[in-house]
Amino acid sequence: MSDSGVDTVLIERRIAAIGTKVDQMTTKVDKVESQMEEVRKDLKKLRKDFLEMMLEQRRTAALEQATTELVSVRQEMDKKFGNYSVVRNTMVGILQATDAALVRKATISTVSEELMISTPDYWLAPVLVALAAWINNNRDLAERAIREAVKRDNEHTSLAMALICRRNNRTATCYEWLARYFSTQNAARIDADAMVYIDAYINGIFGTDEKHLCDDYMAGWIEQIRNQSPEFENEQSESWAEYFTGYEEDMSSRYPALKVVVKEFDYINKYLGKVEAIESISNDFADLKASDVDERTLAEQVDRHLMELVNSDDSKERNLRRQEEYLLAVKAFGGDVERARELVNRRRDEKRQQTMNIIDQMTRSMRDQSASVDVHKKKTAIQFLGSYINGGFNRYRKSDIPEFPQAITLDFDGWTSRVVTGDEGNALRGDYVRYVGEEKKKELAELDVKVAKGNKSHKIAAVVLAVLGVAFFAFVNQVIGILLLAGAGYCLVKTSLSGKQCAAEAEEIEAKYSKRIQEGCSEIDLALNQWKSAKEAAAERSDLLKLEKVA
């Protein structure tokens, strides 16, 4: 116990006991916290499992609902439009049967008339009757049936009759129907199917349009689009000019030495890049115009479209068909409604994007570089867009053309010189060697000055140390005298070593400048050769800058 009467040992024991309890409490708190973390993890997993279970239930319910609704939609389609499918199948059958001559004319007439009765509002039914009457040479019935079909659906009837006439080599009648079909088209909303028939017409698949029944529609479509914007001509010209800039190439890989050492390289690069582009543009269009259209393949494509037209849904069926498409997507994705809706919307967006004005349709075909674009589409586009393509080409050709330099400036390694013909190699190399030689002389002179200063300092130090050494040895302290004399000897040795080091550094300088001369002369030769090549290319192809038409 201390003098103050306070039992410090007891206090220390109690503090220690409190510390132990605090440690125990901390351990318990840590344990509780660990247990709480486990509980949180379990709750998180439970929530995730619950959400997945709910999602799975919703998908299962959506799948069951889609399956049920699909049956209902198809039953409704069959109830309302079941005969439409029969008419389509019969039409395809008759087209194929007449090709093979395997069915009696009377049978065709009977079947078509029965379907006309059972399908009172479908445009294809009277077309079927007309086709049967045509086969049986019943002109009066054919004309009455056609009038009814046109009344029900002018566009589809006209197209179907045009394709059927083409199939049967009735050229004059074909063009009458094709012109009627073209009259139903809106130039601002031409779809991919319509483009097939336009391509076929332009490339002569329908035969010779002796009466020019369709030409006026073609011209009218262009005029319709042109009148939509007062800036149309300028926009087309600007668009094609911008497109042609994509043909330009960087000449750096062809003339690497010029890029590195010639100040005027940007002008050379721009000039030759444009000339190269114009030649490529001209060659591409020339090859395209000279290419042959595979008429057989295009004719087969038109025939396939006839079958697709015959088998296509009627507008009255469209709503149910869309419902069917969505429900089939829900089934395909196992009840995932969001993915199904996304797929359907994407398909519809793609279809809408395929419909655009006729100028944009042809522009897209013309600029499409993929192998899937047929030659006939590009040739059609050239016929329609030729004036705009040429306008854009001239705009591109005339814009931003630098003068090709008549002389160049070599600029590297601190040395510059002018070049005109490219045959000045000897003079340039000599000038460069003199330039480098002057720099070498300066560096060697600096080395000599440096060595001379060093030797002078060492000699002065040697003399001073020698005098001091003799004095100390004779009068003060022999040991110190000897050390001073040794220092004088060291300074004399350093003078000798400096001479050897100077010689070594001089050799390094000689080697360095010899390498510079070798590399510099090589750079000059490369630049001169490439300059002559660039000048020849510019001279030989400068007439391309006068080209006014490519399409």
Spatial CA neighbour of 271 closest among 528, 550, 543, 538: 538
Q: What is the DSSP letter of 169?
A: T
Residue 533 token pair: 């090549």
Spatial CA neighbour of 339 closest among 51, 58, 50: 58
pLDDT above 70 coverage of the chain, percent: 86
> Would residue 281 count as lying in a domain?
yes
Q: State the pLDDT at residue 254.
A: 93
- Taking each helix axis as running N to C, give the angle between helix 8-100 and helix 124-135, from 0 to 180 degrees, rounded to the nearest 10: 30
Q: Whole-prediction pTM value? A: 0.72
Q: State the pLDDT at residue 1.
A: 42
> How many domains does the chain fold into?
2
Q: State the pLDDT at residue 500.
A: 67
Query: Which range has the worst mean pLDDT, 49-63, 174-188, 301-315?
Result: 49-63
Domain final position from 368, 397, 426: 397
- What sign for the dihedral angle of Cα 105, 110, 111, 116? positive
Do 236 and 163 share a structural domain? yes
Q: What is the rounded end-to-end Cα distance, in angstroms, of the chain?
A: 117
> Would residue 117 count as lying in a domain?
no
Confidence band, pLDDT 50/70/90 cuts, at residue 494:
low
Mean pLDDT of the chain: 85
Residue 454 has pLDDT above 60, yes or no: no
Query: Which range has the worst mean pLDDT, 96-100, 148-152, 306-310?
Result: 96-100
Domain final position from 397, 426, 453: 397
Do 496 and 349 share a structural domain? no
Do 318 and 281 share a structural domain? yes
Q: CB atoms < 10 A from the CB of 161, how many?
A: 25
Residue whose tokens read 């799975």:
56
Residue 534 has pLDDT above 90, yes or no: yes
Q: State the pLDDT at residue 2.
A: 44
Q: State the pLDDT at residue 94.
A: 85
Residue 222 has pLDDT above 60, yes or no: yes
> Would residue 38 count as lying in a domain?
no
Confidence band, pLDDT 50/70/90 cuts, at residue 219:
confident
Query: Which range has the worst mean pLDDT, 88-102, 205-219, 221-235, 346-360?
Result: 88-102
Do 350 and 289 share a structural domain? yes
Work out the burial of residue 327: count CB atoms within 10 Å of its CB; fewer than 13 is exposed, 13-18 middle, 19 or more buried: buried
> Strand, helix or coil at 278?
helix
Work out the burial of residue 516: count CB atoms within 10 Å of its CB; fewer than 13 is exposed, 13-18 middle, 19 or more buried: middle
Query: Which range has the worst mean pLDDT, 71-80, 169-178, 446-455, 529-538?
Result: 446-455
Residue 131 token pair: 């086709």
Q: State the pLDDT at residue 525.
A: 94
Spatial CA neighbour of 176 closest among 153, 144, 203, 207: 207
Cβ-Cβ contacts under 8 Å for 233 (sequence gap 6 or more): 226, 388, 391
Do 368 and 468 share a structural domain? no
Range of the domain at 497: 408-546
Cβ-Cβ contacts under 8 Å for 205 (sequence gap 6 or more): 166, 295, 298, 299, 302
Q: CB atoms < 10 A from the CB of 73, how many?
A: 20
> Would residue 193 count as lying in a domain?
yes
Do 349 and 412 share a structural domain? no
In one-letter notation, the amino acid at residue 29 is: V
Q: State the pLDDT at residue 6.
A: 54
> Strand, helix or coil at 419?
strand
Q: State the pLDDT at residue 427.
A: 93
Residue 343 has pLDDT above 50, yes or no: yes
Pairwise pLDDT comparison (458 vs 57), residue with the higher score: 57
- 548 within 8 A of 394, measured Cβ to Cβ: yes
In one-letter notation, the amino acid at residue 481 is: G
**DSSP H or E run through 68:** helix 8-100
Domain final position from 332, 366, 397: 397
Do 494 and 360 share a structural domain? no
- Mean pLDDT confidence for 321-331: 92
**DSSP H or E run through 268:** helix 265-290
> Would residue 435 count as lying in a domain?
yes
In one-letter notation, the amino acid at residue 366 is: M
Confidence band, pLDDT 50/70/90 cuts, at residue 148:
very high
- 469 within 8 A of 484, measured Cβ to Cβ: yes
> Would residue 255 count as lying in a domain?
yes
> Would residue 76 count as lying in a domain?
no
Do 506 and 468 share a structural domain? yes
Do 297 and 176 share a structural domain? yes
Do 388 and 422 share a structural domain? no
Do 435 and 524 share a structural domain? yes
> Would residue 187 count as lying in a domain?
yes
Residue 5 has pLDDT above 70, yes or no: no
- Mean pLDDT confidence for 414-424: 92
- 231 within 8 A of 362, measured Cβ to Cβ: no
Residue 267 has pLDDT above 90, yes or no: yes
Q: State the pLDDT at residue 448.
A: 65
Residue 29 has pLDDT above 50, yes or no: yes
- Mean pLDDT confidence for 108-132: 89
Q: State the pLDDT at residue 24.
A: 74
**DSSP H or E run through 505:** helix 478-541
Phi first, then psi: what are they for 119, rounded to 5°? -130, 80
Do 380 and 269 share a structural domain? yes
Cβ-Cβ contacts under 8 Å for 84 (sequence gap 6 or more): 119, 122, 124, 314, 317
